[in-house]
Every structure is written in C-alpha cells, then in structure tokens.
Amino acid sequence: MDQDARQDGIDPRQDRPLDIPAAELAGLVEATAQLAAGYWSGLDQRPAYPRTGGGETARLFARPWAEDGRGAAVLEDFSAIAEHSRPSGGRFFGYVFGSGEPVGALGDLLASALNQNVGAWRSAPAAVAVERAVIGWLGEAVGCPGFTGSLCGGGSSANLMALAMAREARLPANEDGVRPGVVYASEQVHMSIPKAVALIGLGRRNLRLIPVDADMRLRVDALEAAIAEDRAAGRTPLAVVATAGTVATGAIDPLRPIAAIARREDMWMHVDGAFGVLASLAAPALFDGLSEADSLSLDAHKWLYQPVDCGCLLHRHRDVAQTTFSHSGDYVRALNTDPEEAFAFFEESLELSRRFRALKLWLSLQYHGRAAFRAAIARDLAHARLLEAEIAAHPELELLSSGPLSAVCFRHREKDNEALLRRLIARRRVFLSNATIDGRFALRACFVNHRTTEDDVREIVAEVIAAAGEVNG
C-alpha cells in the first residue's frame, strides 16, 4: 500500500469496496424482510401518531457520517425510525394518504434491486413495457381506454405536466416564448395548480378561481361568465382544470358541462383526479364526462393504496406530449425500425432518469385482482357514510360536508376546534387533519385506507368527544 493511501485509510487495491459477499447479502435481505413483516403485523398496536416533537426527532437522528461502516448493525436503526414515524395503520385519516399496500412495497424493493432507468426502452426494455401496460390498465380502470401517459412522483407533477402540455397545445411557447393565457379552476382547487400555473410562466394572476356551489362544485355559469369577461378584455382562455375529488371535501366538478365549454371555447380540459378519480372503479357514475378530458391526473399512492410515490398523468395527445417535452426532437427520428424499441418516456414526460414505479402496481394490482381494489374503495366510501351517520347521531357535532367521495368535514359546535384537533392528535388514538369550510375550521377525516375497520371509524367520534372533554371552550 502506498504512503498516501495508508494516511487516509484508503486501500486503492481493494477491488469493489462496496460489494457485499453473496451470503452476507442474503442475510441482509432476510433481516430487512423480517423488519418489514414485523412492522406490518404490529401496525394495529402502534399509536396513531408519534409522541416526539420536532426538536427531539431532529436530535435523535442528528449524527455524523462515520468513516467506518457499521455493517448490518445499521438495520437496528429501523426500530427507532419506525417508532418516531407516523404509522400507516387503520386509524390514520389525515390528508389524502394511501395506506401503503405491502405487495406494492415489495415491488418497490424489487424495482430498486433491478435498478432500471425507465427513461427509454433502450435503458429499460421490460420496465418500459410493464409501465406502458400499467398505464393502459389505469386508463381503462377509470373509463378512459386508449389514453396514454406516464407514471410520475405524484399529482403535483402530473398537474404540472398537464398544464405545460395545455400551454404548448394552445399557445406554443417553444417557438415564440410564453404568451399569457388564462387558466380556470374552482376556488377549491388544490395548491398544485397555482404552483403549476406559476412554474409554466403564466403567472398566478392568470389563474381565475371560479366560485363553487353549495356542494363545493365549480359553478358552470360563473366559469362561462369569467371566460366571456376575459375574451372581452382581449385575453386568451387557455385551459380549464376540473377537480374530481377536491382535497377538502371530495367534491367532483360537473365534468361533462365543463368539457362542453372547453370544446366550445377551444380550451384544454384537465381533470385533477389525484384524490378521487380512482373511485370510478367502484362508483363510475360519479365521473360522467371524464373521458372527454384532454388530460387527467391520478394518484395510485392515494386511492390504490400504493406506497409513495406513484402518481400518473393520462392524456389523449401523444403528439402534444412530444412537442412539450422532447428537447432533442429524437422522437421524430427513426432510432430503430421497431417503434417499441424507439419508445422513450423522456421524450414525452418531464423526467429523464425515472424509477421503475410500475413494478409495484404490476405486482400489487395482479396479486389482489381488480375486484379486491374495487371492494376496498367501496368500503372506504361506506366508511365515510358511516362517519357521517355517527356525526349526525351526536348533536354536539355538526357535519360541514358530505359525500360523494370519502372526505368528511365536521366540527364540534361548542369547542375551539383547533385546540380540539391538537388534543385529539396528542391522544394518539386516531389522526385527523383539518380544512377550512366557509371560513370555519373543520376537522377532516379521509378514507383511502385498506386497513380501516368500522370500529376504527366509530373510534373517530368517540375520540373527538373524549378530546372535547379535555379542552376548554
């Protein structure tokens, strides 16, 4: 060993320094599998939220990256990380967050083991074919057969890609630079839409937030009036975003009338279905008009219960996707006589290096079969209706929103609901999040959780009443 190498402890002759001998690797895999299995089987016993505050959590995991490896002992950290994590158990009802179906998680492990770059067939032949097949399943499952698209990190990325495509379709920016166009969405729209409008250079002042009706659905008359006003002022209506499952209450905008307006006005119609669209597996009638959309977002890490991340953009315009996302223009060049082999996701979506997200769907969706997912979604819907009935049976509680999907907003009539929610979370038996409904602070439960039982649902009301007894005024 030369002098320099000895000083920094590096032996340059050590071949393959990160390689793990096969027997040791098998042991590591086994130990990791046991950790995962133990975690899943013990989920019911875990509190709904960790006790640790922010400072303590940071202190627990603040440590230097040591010069010497710890080997398999590093897996011992999993127990502390799990203890101070928010568990994916049946009593978590916050946000819109899927429950992490275990076969999907195993799919993520295998996807990382394969380590494919799913940017193009050339770098990931089977993975590209699997993702394209899964995209076909998803399109067909939501009543939009023939739609194409790609998987992505989540609804926010899908919405961003959709609005970039809308702009390129109606006011092409690649040639002429960004020209202002107006995007319309209901005032209940998810924050990822204003973000996307800003990121594609339109500026948030070119987003019109349209008032909603008593059911929190975009008002079609107000949309028409806003479009007419913009046209009269010489502005160009570009796109309308309909939401199929608003994040606060799960409202579904009137898709068919909005589609008719978009067609008449030559606007792109995007449906943000990140929360709700997958419920069409169990309740397709709720989504009448969906297939009229130019594009739609959905999140398999929400209502297909997959571990994050697993978003999806579906659309009907491969040509627009290519003009929006291809930098090289290679998609028009015959790289290969076989169109399957010439296919590149990076020529029609945002990312170049891409995870093999489709493998978890491939395994999980086929392991359980379509009927099981339909039944799980139907059960989530039934749980939401059960909670509404429980709330109605308790006069001290007031229901603030109901149906048609699985978000339920309510409040305690006499208590400070913000203090109540803090107390409820501190009790750690159920986890709810919050929303603002007509200016009022609401407790919000959302059911996208295959582990939840009817008892868990009843526990929500019992816990709210118990927490109310522990807060003043």
Residues of this chain that interact with ligand PLP (CB under 6 A) are 96, 154-156, 190, 192, 243, 245, 247, 272, 274-275, 299, 311
In the bound state with ligand PLP, the residue whose beta carbon lies nearer, of 119 and 276, is: 276
Q: For ligand PLP, which is the closer residue by CB, 213 or 416? A: 213
Distance from C-alpha of 457 to C-alpha of 427, rounded to nearest angstrom: 16
Distance CA 265, CA 187 (A): 21
Give, in degrees to the nearest 5, the angle at Cα 135 between 371 and 94: 65
Q: Which is nearer to ligand PLP, 192 or 364 (CB)?
A: 192
Name the residue among 357, 369, 365 with its Cα closest to residue 131: 357
Q: What is the DSSP string of 53-96?
A: -HHHHHHHH-----SS--GGGGGGHHHHHHHTS---STTB--TT
The residue at minimum Cβ distance from ligand PLP is 154
Q: Which is nearer to ligand PLP, 247 or 397 (CB)?
A: 247
Please report how close the Cβ of residue 270 comes to ligand PLP at its closest, in angstroms. 11
In the complex, minimum distance from the CB of residue 155 to ligand PLP, in angstroms, rounded to a whole number: 3
Q: Determine the Cα–Cα distance for residues 204 and 278; give it in Å rounded to an integer.
A: 29
The residue (of 163 and 461) whose beta carbon lies closer to ligand PLP is: 163
CB of 444 to ligand PLP, least distance (A): 12
CA dist list (Å): 368 to 104, 167, 361, 364, 423: 11, 39, 11, 6, 38
Closest distance of CB 235 from ligand PLP, Å: 26
Cβ proximity of 42 and 79 under 8 Å: no
Which residues on adjacent β-strands are paired with residue 407?
Answer: 446
Q: Which is nearer to ligand PLP, 448 or 467 (CB)?
A: 448
Q: Least CB distance from residue 112 to ligand PLP, whole Å?
A: 20
Residue 465 region by backbone torsions, left for phi larger than 0, else alpha for psi between -120 and 50, else beta: alpha
CA dihedral 300, 304, 309, 314 (to 10 degrees): -10
State the minimum distance, in angstroms, from the CB of residue 347 to ligand PLP: 23
CB of 100 to ligand PLP, least distance (A): 14
Nearer of residues 344 and 400 to ligand PLP, judged by Cβ = 400
**Contact (Cβ atoms closer than 8 angstroms) between residue 152 and residue 351:** yes
> In angstroms, what is the C-alpha Rg of the chain?
25
